[in-house]
Structure formats: structure tokens, C-alpha cells
Amino acid sequence: STTEPPVTVETLDDVPEHVLRGLPEDVRLFPSAVDKTRLGVWATKSILKGKKFGPFVGDKKKRSQV
């Protein structure tokens, strides 16, 4: 019998405080619909196209790098 490694599930405790503070009022972090072990960004109401929020922290990546 093979033993599979334990699955690590991302929680809100794993999210840096500055990220939580930067979320707009109508955006929440919940389990991802794509990967149940990760958190995803969910809107509680429609977000207008072009709406900006932040601050952005980190390095910008080209689409080919992600």
C-alpha cells in the first residue's frame, strides 16, 4: 500500500495582513473553484470593468511567466 503525502489546504491564516486590508469591500477570499486546496478571490456583487483596487505588492509578471 502506498501512503499519499498529506494535502495542505491554504487558509485565511496563510494570507498576509496587508493583502486582507487591500481587498475591496465587495471581494472575499474563499476556497477556489479551480483548486480546492487554494483560496480564490470571489466578488459578492458585480465589479465594473476597469475597476482598480490595491495596493499592488510584489513583482509584475508577463502573462507568459505565470
pLDDT (tens digit per residue) in 3-13: 888 889 999 99
Does residue 59 register a pLDDT over 80?
yes
Give the per-residue pLDDT at 8.
92
Give the per-residue pLDDT at 58.
78
Question: What is the average pLDDT score of the chain?
Answer: 86
Give the per-residue pLDDT at 52.
78
Domain borders along the chain are 12-43
Cα–Cα distance for residue pair 27/22, rounded to 1 Å: 10
Cα–Cα distance for residue pair 21/11, rounded to 1 Å: 16
